[in-house]
Amino acid sequence: MIHAVLYEPEIPQNTGNIIRTCAAFSVQLHLIEPLSFYLDEAHLKRAGMDYRDIADIRIHPDWDAFLKECKGELYFTTRYGHLTPDSFVYPTDRDIYFVFGKESTGIPKPILQAHQDHCIRIPMDEKARCLNVSNTAAIILYEALRQRNFAGLSFTDKLKDGVLLY
């Protein structure tokens, strides 16, 4: 299974967008507290739309509590990373977790230093500081799913009334 981990998220709209992405990609979402908003906040509901009902969301009181439950390989997205998302061959025989930092400060440096070989950076213009966390999550998760040939995901779409588009 593929997991997305939000380390102390601060902006409900970003978390809502990531909830929607995780639901659409069948990715389990982990939220590391403290959160800077309530999960029932109006902005979160709007961004996540009705996907909260199909999203698999786990909440952990802190980083250490998350690590105790984590049963797989961790990857960290950071501007300090030196490897691109496609530089890794993500394992298919165990769970993988992609950790995304809080919007204001990212993932704490001591955590990153302990996992330097699993730090991912998305290449971008040198004048740009960073991408939005929800965009970063979509890019990273898509690459991991691509490597797994989008296993379990649908390649067809249906209209709301059940009629195929083609």
In this structure, what CATH number is given to the domain that contains residue 113? 3.40.1280.10
pLDDT of 82 > 80? The answer is yes
Q: Is residue 159 part of a domain?
A: no
Peptide bond into 34 cis (omega under 30): yes
The answer, yes or no, to whether residue 5 has pLDDT greater than 80, is: yes
Number of domains forming the structure of the chain: 1
Dihedral angle at the C-alpha atoms of 86, 94, 136, 46, nearest 10 degrees? 150
Provide the residue range defining the domain that includes 35.
2-147
Asked whether residue 28 is assigned to any structural domain, the reply reads yes
pLDDT bucket at 43, cuts 50 / 70 / 90: low
pTM given for the model: 0.88
Closest to 52 in 3D by CA, of 7, 21, 11, 98? 21
Q: In 3-state terms, what secondary structure has residue 69?
A: helix
Which run of H or of E encompasses 3? strand 2-7
The rounded mean pLDDT for the chain is 88
